[in-house]
Structure 1
Amino acid sequence: MNKLEIKNYLIEQEFAQVDQSDLNYSSYLCGNGRACDQVLDMGDDAQLNAGSEISKKLDKHVQTHIKNLEFLKNLSFEPTSVIELGAIVETDKIFIIISTATKPFEYDNKQFVGVSINAPLYKCLENKTVGEECIYNDVKFVIKNIY
């Protein structure tokens, strides 16, 4: 398994998320600006307050993806024999990348998911080796290989 290729794939996907989040945020800001000569009423203030919360959430989303991108760029994907940050874990069900949280995705005809070290699933897998198992949410994961 080529861990560098997978790391680069994750970085590309995170770049795409940053771009899309930034585009969504910019689009929202452009569509919700108000000209200085517009008449204000009580409803406008409520709308501005709600808009401010949405704007903050969109900005936070952009910043989260930027942070994930930097994290991935700096993450060591060196080979390992125990489950730790940077490991790719082959289980009997799915490949789990210990890095940042991702939606499940397919790569090289295999199913992957990214899990952060703060995730409960990681806590179940942490420091385990090939042949061990982890039961999480009543699902047993048997560790077949660690890259």
Structure 2
Amino acid sequence: MKNKVDKNWIITTCVANQNELIDNFKKREAEINEAAFTKNASASQTEDRSAGKYELLKAIGDELAFAQKELTFLETIDRNLQNDSVELGAVVVTDKLTFFIAISSDKMEKDGATIVGISTRAPIYEKMRELKKGDSFQFNETSYEIEDIY
């Protein structure tokens, strides 16, 4: 069985990654905002080239709001809760990967383990929801055996 990765480390890393994502969205939003409200010099001074920038600005604003909502959600997870089935807040160690059930996140590496954050809206979660240690499930033609849950 793989090394047990501290749940507190996983949540702290997810929060740090989410904060970095939010900072990147804010920076990009500020750059586009500045570009959208700065008039472009063109042959036709009546031509408005900022319409596409407004759409992009809205899309980034929506992504930023979603990332902030996920950060708030992450911060509500009880770091000390010991789970015994696959549910929100659980760390699920399988023979292939370790999953953290909270929000979708990039892969994290710690002590030889690869941890992937998944949302309860993810299709793979439906395959493993409420399973327990020793159970197995299949997703996208890959079989997983649950070695530990905490």
Structure 1 length normalisation: TM-score?
0.89
1:10 maps to 14
Question: Contact 2:86 / 2:129 at 8 angstroms: preserved in 1?
Answer: yes
Quote the Cα distance in structure 1 between the aligned partners of 2:102 and 2:108. 14
Q: Which amino acid aligns with 1:54?
A: L
Which of 18, 43, 46 is the equivalent residue of 1:40? 46
1:22, CA displacement in angstroms? 0.7
1:49, CA displacement in angstroms? 2.3
1:107, CA displacement in angstroms? 2.6
Matched, 1:29 2:33: yes
1:105, CA displacement in angstroms? 2.3
Q: Which amino acid aligns with 1:50?
A: G
1:138 maps to 141
| Overall identity of the aligned pairs, in % | 23
- The C-alpha deviation readout for 1:7-26, integer Å capped at 9, x for no partner, is 11111111111111111111
Q: Which amino acid aligns with 1:138?
A: E
Matched, 1:74 2:60: no
Question: Contact 2:36 / 2:54 at 8 angstroms: preserved in 1?
Answer: no
Q: Which amino acid aligns with 1:11?
A: V
Matched, 1:112 2:115: yes
Quote the Cα distance in structure 2 between the aligned partners of 1:94 and 1:102. 14
Q: Which amino acid aligns with 2:72?
A: E
Query: Within 5 Å, which residues of 2 pair with 1:54-65?
Result: 54-65=56-67
Question: Which runs of 5 or more structure 1 residues have no equivalent in the other structure?
Answer: none
Name the SS of the counterpart of 1:74 in structure 2: coil
Question: Which runs of 5 or more structure 2 residues have no equivalent in the other structure?
Answer: none
Q: Which amino acid aligns with 2:83?
A: T
- The C-alpha deviation readout for 1:54-108, integer Å capped at 9, x for no partner, is 1111111111111111000011231111010000000011100000001222133
Size of the aligned set, in residue pairs, is 142
Q: Which amino acid aligns with 1:73?
A: E
Q: Which amino acid aligns with 1:124?
A: K
Name the SS of the counterpart of 1:76 in structure 2: coil
More helix by percentage: 1
Matched, 1:84 2:87: yes
Structure 2 length normalisation: TM-score?
0.88
Give runs of ≥4 in structure 1 deviating > 3 Å: none
